[in-house]
Amino acid sequence: MDAEPIVLGLETSCDETSAAVLRGERELLGHIILSQDEHELYGGVVPEIAARAHLRVVGDVVDGALRQAGLGLEDVDLFGVTAGPGLIGALLVGVSWAKAAAYALDRPLIGVHHMEAHLFSVSLEDAEAQPPFVALLVSGGHTLLLWVPEWGRYRLLGATRDDAAGEAFDKVAKILGLGYPGGPEIQRVAGDGDPAAHAFPRPMLASTQRPGDDDYYAFSFSGLKTAVLTRVRELERAGTLARETANLAASFQAAAVDVLVAKTMRAVEQTGCRRVLIGGGVAASRALRSALGDAIGGHGSLYHPRLRLATDNGAMIARAALFRHRRGERAPLDLTARADLPFPGLESP
Ligand code: KG4
Ligand code: ZN
């Protein structure tokens, strides 16, 4: 049998430049994740700045991961790179780099779908995190509820109709005068607040909804963000905003988590599968993990990545590339980045 392949995974879709050296399915030999903090100045990711920052560091990040692994570029058997979705200028940096390396070394290249890669994050550390499962992918750009009967087959149950879950955390943090990214900030401040202090709406969630209704699994977060903004303006006029920040953060977080948990549990009931996997940056939320864990209960399993693998990273890209490579796929040398790359193997209901 051949030795386990060495996979180099490269991620540059948003504001993390990351490279990983993975041997086989789980042996992470090197892993560098460099977060661009200059976006904090602007309260969100500035695409042009992101692309330039990736360009500046991509070579060093790959070198760093290889150095940790004690390997050279010529030891890499397979290259995997995020080809989309994401910011086009940022994606192009990784794709161009990986194409050049794969071509120069005559190694296969896989263009990875960023959200499919998030599904693989947990399996890097937990061999049990395999389908079948219900998956909730919640990041800064996406909110997807999927039924995953096996790797490569994904049934889309629901998605957001407006803002993504992480985007809602980021925007509400901005409204509350907190830093970027908003999720960790909201979590920190919410620790001192009362989640029942403000009765925010649970958008798209009603007890009258029935399976088959087109909003049964759908999400919407922009109305919740507006409700927070309206309350902030009222408190501002009353001069009591400053002492309400923790309560506002806790109440918003509770509303967002309630909806995510309720819709995920609908999928659990309908599929009869009490195995749930969460991925994407919002999967780092302690409130989400604990509420979902309670809802699933002792007879089920919740698979969540630890913090470093919840947010964007090269390891999940390498793992997804290995999966696609084993299925006989290979990117053509005219592979290009696509901001709206379709999810591979996605079946709509
Ligand atoms: O997956 P990710 O790193 O990047 C994208 O692909 O978008 O996700 C980033 C998102 C941000 O919106 C951030 O606010 C959110 O994940 N996030 C959290 C938490 N940590 C990160 N949201 C809620 N609670 C957290 N603890
Ligand atoms: Zn992501």
Domain edges within the chain: 6-119+310-347, 131-304
Query: Is the C-beta atom of 18 inside 6 A of ligand 1?
Result: no
As residues whose CB is below 5 A from the ion ligand 2, the structure lists 139, 312
Mutational test site, ligand 1, from 34, 174, 311, max ligand atoms within 8 Å of CB? 311
Mutational test site, ligand 1, from 115, 169, 189, max ligand atoms within 8 Å of CB? 169
Mutational test site, ligand 1, from 87, 118, 122, 139, max ligand atoms within 8 Å of CB? 139
What's the pLDDT at 1?
A: 44
pLDDT band at 333 (very low <50, low <70, confident <90, very high): confident
Instruction: Kindly report the number of other CB atoms within 10 A of residue 131's CB atom.
Output: 19
pLDDT digit string, tens, across residues 169-215: 999 999 999 999 999 999 999 999 999 999 999 999 999 999 999 99
Architecture of domain 131-304: 2-Layer Sandwich (3.30)
Nearest to 169 by CA among 215, 136, 206, 138: 138
Query: What does the CA dihedral 249, 254, 256, 262 come to, rounded to 10 degrees?
Result: 180
Q: What is the C-alpha separation between 58 and 55, in angstroms, rounded?
A: 6
Q: What angle do CA 93, 98, 100 make, to 5 degrees?
A: 100
What's the pLDDT at 218?
A: 98
Angle at which helices 241-271 and 286-296 pack, to 10 degrees?
Answer: 40
pTM for the model stands at 0.96
Domains 6-119+310-347 and 131-304 share a fold: yes
Query: Is the C-beta atom of 317 inside 6 A of ligand 1?
Result: no
Task: For residue 312, report the distance from its CA to the centre of ligand 1, in Å.
Answer: 9
Instruction: Kindly report the number of other CB atoms within 10 A of residue 56's CB atom.
Output: 12
Q: Residue 124 gets which letter from DSSP? A: G
Q: Regarding beta strands 16-23 and 6-11, do their DSSP bridges make them parallel or antiparallel, or are they unpaired?
A: antiparallel
* Mean pLDDT value across the chain: 96
Task: For residue 242, report the distance from its CA to the centre of ligand 2, in Å.
Answer: 33
Average pLDDT over residues 63-86: 98
Q: Residue 343 gets which letter from DSSP? A: P
Q: What is the C-alpha separation between 251 and 231, in angstroms, rounded?
A: 11
pLDDT band at 44 (very low <50, low <70, confident <90, very high): confident
List of residues 6+ apart from 204 with CB closer than 8 A: 161, 215, 218, 219, 220, 259, 263
Gyration radius of the chain's alpha carbons = 20
Question: DSSP per residue over 13-41, as a string?
Answer: SSSEEEEEEEETTTEEEEEEEEE-GGGGG
What's the pLDDT at 90?
A: 98
Query: Is the C-beta atom of 313 inside 6 A of ligand 1?
Result: no
6-119+310-347 placed in CATH 1.25.60.10:
no
Q: What is the C-alpha separation between 138 and 143, in angstroms, rounded?
A: 5
